[in-house]
A = this chain, B = another copy of it.
Amino acid sequence: MRYLLWAAWLLPASLSAAAPAPTPLTARLDKVTLTFALTPDGQPTYAVQYGAKSVITTSRLGLALVDGPSFEGPLEITDSETWEVDDSWNPVWGEVKTIRNHYRQLTVHLRQTQPPGRRLDVVFRVFADGVGFRYEVPRQADLSYFTVQQELTEFNLPANHKAFWIPGDYDSNEYAYTTSRLSEVNTTPIEAIQQKAAANRVQTPLMLKSDDGLYVNIHEAALVNYPALFLNVETQTYGLRSQLVPSATGAAAYLQAPEHTPWRTIVVSDKAAEVLTSKLILNLNEPTKFPTTDWIRPQKFVGVWWEMHVNKASWNYADTSNIKLAGTDWSRLKPNGRHGANTANVKRYIDFAARHGLQSVLVEGWNVGWEDWAGNWKEEVFDFVTPYPDFNVPELQQYAAAKGVQLMMHHETSGSVSNYERRQDAAYRFMKEHSYAAVKTGYVGRIIPRGEHHDGQWMVNHYNRTAALLGQNELMVDMHEAVRPTGLHRTYPNWLASEAARGNEFNAWSTGNPPEHETILPFTRLMGGPMDYTPGIFRIMLESWNPAQNKGRQVHTTLAKQLALYVTMYSPLQMAADLPEAYEQHLDAFQFIKDVAVDWDDTRVLLAEPGEYITTARKAKGREDWFVGSITDENPRQQVVKLDFLTPGRQYEAIIYADGEGASWDRNPMAYQIRKQKVTSKTTLTLQLAPGGGAAISLRPTR
């Protein structure tokens, strides 16, 4: 670890009141330059350059408070410091074994020029691939408790970039991306998942591409005790204005000094692939405080799940509606005969997982309350401990243990978080008693406490507290419908994955995800952390499950692309999302899902362009095996893959799972071909990707 103080105390504090520090102040690392300046009227601003190119033009900084004089200016600089850090750390799990953390830090100490002279620090960290900065409110006599009404941070862009965006919905990220110029951002025509706000409001991570070849990603890191950051696009001037998700009262964040905001992050490169491999957001998160992490295991799982999405089974046990949790005798309900989470069916999944070496079986719909769980803004829906009459907890516990498989718990809250919080203690005790090691949580619907949003401060605290509480219990978690990640899996490595985007499931019951979707997600949603996208759907035409209800529905990829997603879409928790019977018809292709790793020593993004294609190679943790995934949007593509990442002089067997002759996502998605080939580090493979297609390759040393 190397800490360098490369310039300190530009001005002694005692002088600062009399003679404010001159601005601009700058910090630079490689091509990235950060400039801080006060305007003549005392407003703080910053700007970012990448080499000679402007990334962020002069943009305002500040915090508007509910209570008393805000940090909107006039402010003066009382002091500033710069530091350099260059060290490295090993994540508990991840895309690479070791992460370098190299940045130069500029801390600017500001004070209101008017009484009461409240103090605010702005801390910038300049990396080789971007900038992170945050506001820090130090301990001070005149500001203990305060409420942030709005954050004034701007990200002014020098030109009318191409943007990959989803609408600003405080309660959902489950949108397909729109690609447009900033000037054309308009969410009005897009159907709301929960509730859209202003027409020009978009979410982060926001991916941008400039005409002069810069790739810029704007997001945040370490979202703790603060609402998520949304962006209002100034379509005329290409400026982005901060919009914090409001609480039930309309104010954004209730805070107590000393406190700081999350880091605002700007990742920038002239290579798209470098955006995907950036570790800037992870580096801005805190290391874990968990005393041990050996109980955390990246893993693959199957589950009683997709069969509900394709209308082959139901979450609910009975078709009775208007159920009350308290006082219902569940044993007296009339079963509908389609309940997926029944003991026999779960055993079938356990058998399948055991046979194919998958670690876990998720079971959704095991617990009472699904008869009318969604859409009613109802507080008492689930109790998280009472199984339906046909789900035998101890029997399945024993059966799974005998087969060496773990059951994965499911806690759907239906957005009633106050109810979940009251029951979390008991629910986690239940998990420990019944040998569950991980839980998938869900937050479908409007939040209770009513008036709060999924992405507001109160819920952000809930998610983080839940990760911490599960960690104390040595339990892992996969959160669905939670706020989009910001690298907190470094701090909570038991938080294996989140959903927080439009997953594969949308293909089952909506217009679906367009073929470009998976080429955008790594540049947007995945910048913050792993996604439980639930890849691996083999039965692409959903009509084959239930012609009456799934008519015309399909997954918008080829089968081969579903395999490639296990590599292009990083997650330490990967579902084999289809049904056992679907896999059993294609065991040759399923072999890739069995083989592919979920934890990695190294990752190389070989080819990438957001919205078009991604080809990624990864080396399995602690092994010499490599896996390659290559995907395209709706256009067919030829991807030339040099295998120069392989160990020189060593021979590998490549198994290539490719689109078949004449394959295409819409007309012939099931056509795939598997071929084996001996390769070395000198081999170049040419992959032919079908429209909406992909290819997956496993590479194993021959001896």
- Bound form: Cα–Cα A421–B256 in Å: 22
- Bound form: Cα–Cα A310–B452 in Å: 40
The 8 A CB mask of A412-441 against B (1 = contact, 0 = none) is 000000100110111000000000000000
- Bound form: Cα–Cα A488–B287 in Å: 50
Residue of B nearest to A375 (CB): B145
Q: Is A249 an interface residue (CB 8 A)?
A: yes
Name the contact of A418 in the complex, choosing from B145, B257, B426, B449 (C-beta under 8 A): B449
Tell me which of A156-164, A171-179, A376-384, A396-404 binds B.
A376-384
Q: How many whole Å from A225's CB to the nearest CB in chain B?
A: 9
Q: Is A372 an interface residue (CB 8 A)?
A: yes
Q: Is there contact, CB below 8 Å, between B322 and A144?
A: yes
Q: Is there contact, CB below 8 Å, between B257 and A322?
A: yes
Q: How many whole Å from A662's CB to the nearest CB in chain B?
A: 51
Q: Is there contact, CB below 8 Å, between A256 and B418?
A: no
- Bound form: Cα–Cα A217–B220 in Å: 58
Q: Is there contact, CB below 8 Å, between A254 and B377?
A: yes
Q: What are the residues of chain B within 8 A of A449 when measuring CB–CB?
A: 248, 418, 449-452, 458
Q: Is there contact, CB below 8 Å, between B450 and A376?
A: no
Do A144 and B452 contact each other (CB < 8 Å), given the known contacts A254-B377, A421-B422? no
Q: Is A271 an interface residue (CB 8 A)?
A: no
Name the contact of A422 in the complex, choosing from B139, B372, B378, B424 (C-beta under 8 A): B424
Q: How many whole Å from A601's CB to the nearest CB in chain B?
A: 35
Within 8 A of B (CB), among A252-294: 254, 256-257
Q: Is there contact, CB below 8 Å, between A324 and B450?
A: no
Name the contact of A145 in the complex, choosing from B376, B422, B451, B458 (C-beta under 8 A): B376
Q: How many whole Å from A245's CB to the nearest CB in chain B?
A: 14
- Bound form: Cα–Cα A254–B449 in Å: 12
Q: Is there contact, CB below 8 Å, between A378 and B256?
A: yes
Q: What are the residues of chain B within 8 A of A257 when measuring CB–CB?
A: 322
Residue of B nearest to A419 (CB): B421
Q: What are the residues of chain B within 8 A of A425 when measuring CB–CB?
A: 425-426
Q: Is A574 an interface residue (CB 8 A)?
A: no
Q: How many whole Å from A310's CB to the nearest CB in chain B?
A: 27
Q: How many whole Å from A248's CB to the nearest CB in chain B?
A: 4
Residue of B nearest to A449 (CB): B449
Q: What are the residues of chain B within 8 A of A236 when measuring CB–CB?
A: none
The 8 A CB mask of A219-259 against B (1 = contact, 0 = none) is 00000000000000000000000000001110000101100
Interface size class of A (residues with CB under 8 A): 20 to 34
Q: How many whole Å from A67's CB to the nearest CB in chain B?
A: 11
Q: What are the residues of chain B within 8 A of A426 when measuring CB–CB?
A: 425
- Bound form: Cα–Cα A254–B421 in Å: 19
Q: What are the residues of chain B within 8 A of A45 when measuring CB–CB?
A: none
- Bound form: Cα–Cα A379–B456 in Å: 15
The 8 A CB mask of A164-197 against B (1 = contact, 0 = none) is 0000000000000000000000000000000000
Within 8 A of B (CB), among A487-507: none
- Bound form: Cα–Cα A134–B450 in Å: 26
- Bound form: Cα–Cα A338–B421 in Å: 36
Q: How many whole Å from A179's CB to the nearest CB in chain B?
A: 36
- Bound form: Cα–Cα A652–B611 in Å: 96
Name the contact of A376 in the complex, choosing from B248, B256, B324, B418 (C-beta under 8 A): B256
Q: What are the residues of chain B within 8 A of A249 when measuring CB–CB?
A: 248, 450-451
Q: Is A43 an interface residue (CB 8 A)?
A: no
Q: What are the residues of chain B within 8 A of A452 when measuring CB–CB?
A: 449
- Bound form: Cα–Cα A426–B451 in Å: 28
- Bound form: Cα–Cα A630–B254 in Å: 50
Q: How many whole Å from A329's CB to the nearest CB in chain B?
A: 16
- Bound form: Cα–Cα A475–B458 in Å: 31
Q: Is A651 an interface residue (CB 8 A)?
A: no
The 8 A CB mask of A291-335 against B (1 = contact, 0 = none) is 000000000000000000000000000000110100000000000
Q: Is A461 an interface residue (CB 8 A)?
A: yes
Q: What are the residues of chain B within 8 A of A377 when measuring CB–CB?
A: 145, 254
Q: How many whole Å from A251's CB to the nearest CB in chain B?
A: 8
Residue of B nearest to A321 (CB): B144
Q: What are the residues of chain B within 8 A of A321 when measuring CB–CB?
A: 144
Q: Is there contact, CB below 8 Å, between A248 and B422?
A: no
- Bound form: Cα–Cα A388–B377 in Å: 41
Within 8 A of B (CB), among A135-163: 139, 144-145
Do A256 and B450 contact each other (CB < 8 Å), given the known contacts A145-B378, A376-B145? no
Q: How many whole Å from A369's CB to the nearest CB in chain B?
A: 13
Q: Is there contact, CB below 8 Å, between B451 and A324?
A: no
A sample of 14 inter-chain contacts (CB < 8 A) reads A144-B321, A247-B450, A247-B451, A248-B248, A249-B450, A249-B451, A254-B377, A256-B322, A256-B376, A422-B422, A422-B424, A422-B465, A450-B451, A451-B451
Interface residues of A (CB under 8 A from B): 139, 144-145, 247-249, 254, 256-257, 321-322, 324, 372, 376-379, 418, 421-422, 424-426, 449-452, 458, 461, 465
Give 14 new A-B contacts, CB below 8 A, not counting A145-B378, A425-B425, A449-B458: A144-B322, A248-B449, A248-B450, A249-B450, A254-B377, A254-B378, A254-B379, A254-B450, A379-B461, A418-B421, A418-B458, A422-B424, A425-B426, A451-B451
- 3 closest A-B pairs (Cβ-Cβ)? A449-B449, A248-B451, A425-B425
